[in-house]
A = this chain, B = another copy of it.
Amino acid sequence: MDIQNYMQALGQQAKEASRALSRAGTNAKNHALLLIASEIRKSADNLKLQNKLDMDAGQSKGLDAALLDRLELTDSRIEGMAEGLEQIAALPDPVGEISNMNYRPSGIQLGQMRVPLGVIGIIYESRPNVTADAAGLCLKSGNATILRGGSEAINSNKAVAACIHRGLEQAGLPATAVQVVETTDRAAVGELITMSEYIDVIVPRGGKSLTERISNDARVPVIKHLDGICHVYIDAAADLDMAEDIAFNAKCHRYGVCNAMETLLVDSAVAVDILPRLAKRYATESVELRGCEQTRTILTDIHAASDEDWDTEYLAPILAIRIVDGIDEAMDHIHKHSSGHTETIVTEDYASSRRFLAEVDSSSVMVNASTRFADGFEYGLGAEIGISTDKIHARGPVGLEGLTSQKWIVLGSGQIRQ
């Protein structure tokens, strides 16, 4: 197979399909989503059969247990895919929303209309359920999609794609609105991220190294999420009971997620009071604590944090703790070490809360709430294609609206420029 020609053909077909999709009404898109959900349920046996081919190949190749777990399509994951599509069908359609229609002195009436981006390329690791989730979000937002999943999941992804195609066709939409790259050749990714004539945006979903590689080589805009080094800062004026609950929840609610706290900053004025309480709480979950020098004068039996700790996304029951002198030192630390994902201040002080909100430059900035709330479902976006740590276009959780843009519309009655 000539990879370049193959990918160009996918791109051309996607671009064509994107026009039909951008015109498709809300009912047609919702109908397709429900039909795809139904096809996925009906095809459960075949999906598991195809998935077994991938699982067997993965086992012979010696894939690790975590990867095999993500690769597996169980009954509950298949039902999860179908339910996810039904939830997307229930969300409001962002396309066509018109806002801010105001008259200008020239007499034209100016406003903005929300429109699909066009063609979205999604590159992800070996999790076949992402195929259905991503296709559903793109379809609802009126975008055509080219999906490039991990090579270990190729048979599963093709089987999911077949369900999607049947649903699209039954709803009268082009099957090429969602295309799965059917080659595992890595050159396909290189083509996908450089076909700027066909692809409007790339969304990589996976580890930091995959995302960095894609961003470096892409010639197409990338909506990306690198890592989540999130901070909780316990201010001198914090309610210490609240601080204890938030700092515990932000670290221990789930470890392997990007919105978990990785570094705790504690104001020196309350460190002696709060740190022993927190240490006792973390001990119940066997969280390993690593402290700055000053922290270790209070928690004498914990390891020292190295410079590297402040820049590490543990994704594990490990927490770095640093004592700071006031909010400025806390924000300096965040400025230097945060990945720009989510930071929280715990405080009862009005001025500190306002400064933290205004001055911390992260995609989500919170007062008196756990970092774990930085999430598409918690934010009411319904579902998310990812969490962007970029600054342009979409920041933070990216839902349907993040997959659209706004064009200007002008209604006139014959106006010309003077």
Contact = CB atoms under 8 A, between A and B. Distances in A.
Contacts of A200: 391-392
A395 to B, nearest CB: 6
Contacts of A110: 379-380
Given A104-B380, A108-B369, A215-B219, 8 more contacts: A104-B379, A106-B378, A113-B365, A249-B417, A357-B409, A365-B408, A368-B413, A372-B416
B22 A359 contact: yes
A32 interface: no
Interface in A390-406: 390-393, 395-397, 405-406
A411 B367 contact: yes
A407 B219 contact: no
21 contacts: A19-B335, A104-B379, A113-B358, A221-B390, A246-B416, A357-B409, A363-B407, A363-B408, A364-B407, A365-B407, A366-B411, A368-B411, A369-B410, A369-B414, A370-B412, A372-B416, A373-B417, A391-B405, A395-B405, A395-B406, A396-B408
A374 interface: yes
A245 interface: yes
A38 B23 CA distance: 52
Q: A353, A370, A374, A408: which has the most chain B beta carbons within 10 Å?
A: A408
B115 A410 contact: no
A209 interface: no
A115 B340 CA distance: 13
Q: A215, A359, A367, A406: which has the most chain B beta carbons within 10 Å?
A: A367
Interface string A120-139: 00000000000000000000
Please classify the interface of chain A as helix (H, G, I), strand (E, B), loop, or mixed, using the class held by over half of its residues.
Answer: mixed
A395 B406 CA distance: 7
B408 A359 contact: no
Contacts of A380: 104, 110
* Number of copies of this kind of chain in the complex: 2
A90 interface: no
A414 B157 CA distance: 42
A246 B365 contact: no
B365 A415 contact: no
A169 interface: no
Given A364-B407, A367-B412, A118 B391 contact: yes
A180 to B, nearest CB: 23
A96 interface: yes
A361 interface: yes
Contacts of A19: 335, 359, 361
Contacts of A405: 391-393, 395
A298 to B, nearest CB: 24
A28 interface: no
Contacts of A245: 414, 416
A391 B201 CA distance: 9
A288 interface: no
Contact of A415 (B216, B368, B411): B368
A239 interface: yes
Given A110-B379, A113-B357, A117-B391, A414 B368 contact: yes
Contacts of A364: 407-410
A368 B115 contact: no
A405 B362 CA distance: 11
A373 B221 contact: no
A364 B416 CA distance: 15
Contacts of A406: 395
Nearest to A245: B416
A358 B253 contact: no
B118 A361 contact: yes
Nearest to A402: B392
A9 interface: no
B414 A239 contact: yes
Which 3 A-B pairs give the minimum distances between C-beta atoms?
A369-B412, A249-B416, A372-B417
Given A416-B245, A417-B373, A358 B411 contact: no
